[in-house]
Amino acid sequence: MIRFLVGFLTAVVLVLLVLFCYVRLGFVDPRADVEPGSLEKKVAMPALDASVERRAPSMKNPIQPTDENLLGGMKIYQANCSGCHGDISHPHLAFGDSFYPRAPQFVEDAPDMPENQNFYIIQHGVRLSGMPGWNSSLKESEIWQVTTFLSNMDKLPPQVLAVWKIEATGTGAASSSDPGTITPAKNRRMDMSAH
Ligand code: HEC
């Protein structure tokens, strides 16, 4: 029994040592511009969903999707989020694909998570990804507005949609360069600093 235990513990220590060396000696691929491996797709992504589901407090959205709130949410989105997540005039940004994991393009694929989970992600961001936490730069009421905007993005009332179209082609954050072309990450960064 003792010999079995010693053998078992040695095996565990060896596996941990190999894992540590693999990570510490630089075998982990640091590049963002590669496809996520199948292990990450199968383990890391569901793990994030499970963590958010477990941790996001079960709050109810305190605001209604009135035109006023949707317009407010749209302006916050356009100013802070559209540069990575796209907008009505730029449904797919190449810049969004240059993150690892990719920044979801919400016009193409509307966020379907419960609102308390989106609220939690927007508040706190996602560790080891490009998604910032907005706790310090947006008020709680603004985070609820942008959350409401996200969950209504694929069913906006025509009057809100019309204003969004104007904002997205005019002064929107994503339209700082030629709106018709997909902007590579490098140029985009220069665009942003020029503002
Ligand atoms: C610098 C780029 C960047 C900006 C700016 C940004 N995000 Fe993100 N966001 C990301 C990335 C990258 C992810 C993917 C994270 C992941 O999957 O682990 C993400 C994920 C999310 C998610 C989770 C989506 C899902 O289906 O899992 C939500 C919701 C979100 N962002 C909302 C916002 C909002 C709202 C704003 C503006 C207030 C914003 N983001 C600004 C890069 C950004």
Single-letter residue type at 157:
P
Q: What is the pTM of this model?
A: 0.84
Atom nearest to 102 CA in ligand 1: 12
Model pLDDT, residue 88: 97
Please give the CATH number for the structural domain made up of 64-193.
1.10.760
Model pLDDT, residue 175: 44
Q: Distance from the CA of 64 to the center of ligand 1, in angstroms?
A: 23
Statement: residue 46 has pLDDT above 60? yes
Atom nearest to 81 CA in ligand 1: 37
The answer to whether the CB of 56 is under 6 A from ligand 1 is no
Model pLDDT, residue 37: 84
Q: Distance from the CA of 99 to the center of ligand 1, in angstroms?
A: 10
CA distance 147 to 80: 13
The answer to whether the CB of 125 is under 6 A from ligand 1 is no
Confidence band for 39, pLDDT divided at 50, 70 and 90: confident
Burial of 133 (0-12, 13-18, 19+ CB in 10 A): middle
Closest CA to 61 of 113, 119, 121: 119
Q: Write the residue with the smallest CA distance to atom 7 of ligand 1.
A: 131
CA distance 50 to 28: 24
Model pLDDT, residue 171: 55
pLDDT tens by residue, 100-121:
999 999 999 998 899 999 999 9
